[in-house]
């Protein structure tokens, strides 16, 4: 079936977009979605198919909105891939699939926890610039709101398979946390998936921020917490110099304090820990295992996050 989808998409690109494809390379990253690098008479491009199991019609409608923002951000100078439309639509539709085509961005991915100080500074700088532009946009579909303690505990009960030390600590955190600490956070459009697999670097500079599919209204604070955990947590140790470099880079464009940064880690925990520590997800390795490690780290350090960060 994947070969049939590939053939259908490439045929569309050649006939409708008038690209002459010279070479097709499959990219084995991500879950279910098919991806390719294609070499054409107009350069190299990235093609991504949206798997219908992961993207039912209602979700694809939200992707369309996200692609609209990505295109706008690219033209404003944010380092993200240029999209190629057909009949003014960025989500392209052929007989067998829906897909996008963008520039193929040059750069390398950084392994989790392995960012250096200069890279962290530049990541903070680019993240703040992205947030600055997104704050000017009208709020869209709200993808996540801070829930109540009761809802969190109910989900905890649904998730757990057997009690262990981490899950019991998690339960205590969800029960006791004063969620009013998040009251001053304003909903805003955020990337919502700002981790190592979605940022390319050219040496010490961010060359591109990728994958805007989840861009929607939530809290930009979540982007900060996700980036810090993904890039700065290394072998159960949060690398303070790199955390502070990110903070300094962010402050070149927008204000971010140590208190804000700690709040971002707590919000990230409230948003994600019930997913990655729950019993309803099969974890073998790769990103889920990494996200689980991050949530365990926050669980074990919840009472002294200030010391961990500062």
Q: Stretch 7-34: mean pLDDT, rounded?
A: 92
pLDDT of residue 30: 72
CA distance 14 to 296: 48
pLDDT of residue 280: 58
pLDDT of residue 285: 46
User: What confidence tens digit (pLDDT) does each residue in 216-267 have?
Assistant: 999 999 999 999 999 999 999 999 999 999 999 999 999 999 999 999 999 9
Q: Stretch 277-302: mean pLDDT, rounded?
A: 81
Indicate whether 69 and 137 sit together in one domain. no
Indicate whether 78 and 226 sit together in one domain. no
Reported confidence tier of residue 158, pLDDT bands at 50, 70, 90: confident
**DSSP-derived secondary structure for 103-152:** E----EEPPTT---HHHHHHHHHHHHHHHHHHTTSPP--B------HHHH
Here the CATH number for the domain that contains residue 188 is 3.90.1200.10
Whether 161 has a pLDDT exceeding 80, the answer reads no
CA distance 117 to 227: 14
Q: Stretch 109-118: mean pLDDT, rounded?
A: 97
HSE-CB for 244 with a 13 A CA cutoff = 7
User: What confidence tens digit (pLDDT) does each residue in 59-99 have?
Assistant: 999 999 999 999 999 999 999 999 999 999 999 999 879 99
Here the CATH number for the domain that contains residue 31 is 3.30.200.20
Chain position carrying tokens 């692609």: 67
pLDDT of residue 279: 64
Indicate whether 258 and 225 sit together in one domain. yes
Neighbours of 162 (CB within 10 A): 6
8 Å CB contact between 12 and 92: yes
CA distance 136 to 74: 15
pLDDT of residue 29: 78
- Residue 27's Cβ-count burial label (10 Å; 0-12, 13-18, 19+) is middle
pLDDT of residue 273: 95
Lowest mean pLDDT among 137-151, 164-178, 202-216: 137-151
Domain termination site, one of 72, 104, 136: 104
User: What confidence tens digit (pLDDT) does each residue in 49-66 have?
Assistant: 999 888 999 999 999 999
Strands 216-218 and 98-103: unpaired
CA distance 59 to 39: 30
pLDDT of residue 53: 87
Indicate whether 181 and 288 sit together in one domain. yes
Q: Which of 258, 201, 202, 265 is nearest to 228 (CA)?
A: 265
Lowest mean pLDDT among 27-31, 100-104, 268-272: 27-31
CA distance 269 to 294: 9
Give how many domains the chain has, as a whole number.
2
Domain termination site, one of 84, 104, 124: 104
pLDDT of residue 159: 81
Domain termination site, one of 80, 104, 128: 104
Residue 191: give the domain boundaries.
Answer: 109-309
pLDDT of residue 254: 97
pTM summary value: 0.93
């Amino acid at each position: 079936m994947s070969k049939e989808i590939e053939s259908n998409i490439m045929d569309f690109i050649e006939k409708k977009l008038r690209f002459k494809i010279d070479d097709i390379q499959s990219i084995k990253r991500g879950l279910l979605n098919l991806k390719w690098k294609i070499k054409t008479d107009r350069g190299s491009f990235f093609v991504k198919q949206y798997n219908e199991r992961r993207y039912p019609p209602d979700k694809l409608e939200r992707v369309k909105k996200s692609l609209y923002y990505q295109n706008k951000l690219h033209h404003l100078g944010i380092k993200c891939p240029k999209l190629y439309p057909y009949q003014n639509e960025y989500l392209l539709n052929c007989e067998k699939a829906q897909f996008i085509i963008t520039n193929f961005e040059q750069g390398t991915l950084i392994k989790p926890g392995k960012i250096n100080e200069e890279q962290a500074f530049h990541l903070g700088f680019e993240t703040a610039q992205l947030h600055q532009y997104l704050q000017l946009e009208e709020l869209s579909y709200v993808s996540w709101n801070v829930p109540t303690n009761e809802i969190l505990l109910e989900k905890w009960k649904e998730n757990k398979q057997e009690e262990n030390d981490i899950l019991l600590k998690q339960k205590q955190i969800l029960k006791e946390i004063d969620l009013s600490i998040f009251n001053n956070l304003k909903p805003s459009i955020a990337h919502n998936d700002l981790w190592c697999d979605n940022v390319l670097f050219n040496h010490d500079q961010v060359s591109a921020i990728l994958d805007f599919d989840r861009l929607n209204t939530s809290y930009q604070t979540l982007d900060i917490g996700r980036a810090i955990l993904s890039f700065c947590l290394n072998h159960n140790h949060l690398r303070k110099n790199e955390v502070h470099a990110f903070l300094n880079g962010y402050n070149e464009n927008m204000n971010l304090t140590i208190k804000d940064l700690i709040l971002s880690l707590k919000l990230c925990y409230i948003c994600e820990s019930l997913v990655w520590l729950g019993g309803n997800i099969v974890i073998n390795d790769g990103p889920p295992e990494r996200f689980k490690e991050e949530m365990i780290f926050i669980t074990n350090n919840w009472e002294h996050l200030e010391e961990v960060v500062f």
